[in-house]
Amino acid sequence: MRINLKTKEFDGILYPSVQAGGEGFNVALKPEVVDAYLSFEGASLCHLAKKGMDMYLKIMNYSKIVGEEIIYVDKELDLEEEKVFSEYTNGLKFIN
C-alpha cells in the first residue's frame, strides 16, 4: 500500500474534476471514515447531457432498500422530461 505523507493525517481529500474541466469536484474518503460516519441512504443512475453551458440531468433509476438488499427501480419520465432530454441528447449514444 502506498501512503501519501502529505495527506495521511486527513480523513479525506477534495480535488477538482478533470472530466468537468475543474468546474466540479470529487471527494475521496478513507474506508474507516466511511464505515464510522456514513450510512447508505440511496443511489441512482443518471445521464448528464450538456449542450454548451446548459446541462440536463436525467435520473434513469433509483435505489430502494428491501430488507437487507438494495434494488434498483427504473424511473418513469413524463412526456415533457423525455422531450427535453431527447433535445439535449440528439445524436448521442449511451452505453450502460
Model confidence, pTM: 0.53
Q: How far apart are CA 64 and CA 74, in angstroms?
A: 11
Apex 58 CA angle, 78 and 69, nearest 5: 95
The domain ranges of the chain are 1-38, 40-90
Write the DSSP symbol of residue 95.
-
pLDDT per residue over 4-58, tens digit each?
777 778 899 888 888 777 777 899 999 999 999 998 888 998 887 777 777 778 8
Q: Which of 34, 12, 16 is nearest to 25 (CA)?
A: 16
Write the DSSP symbol of residue 77.
P
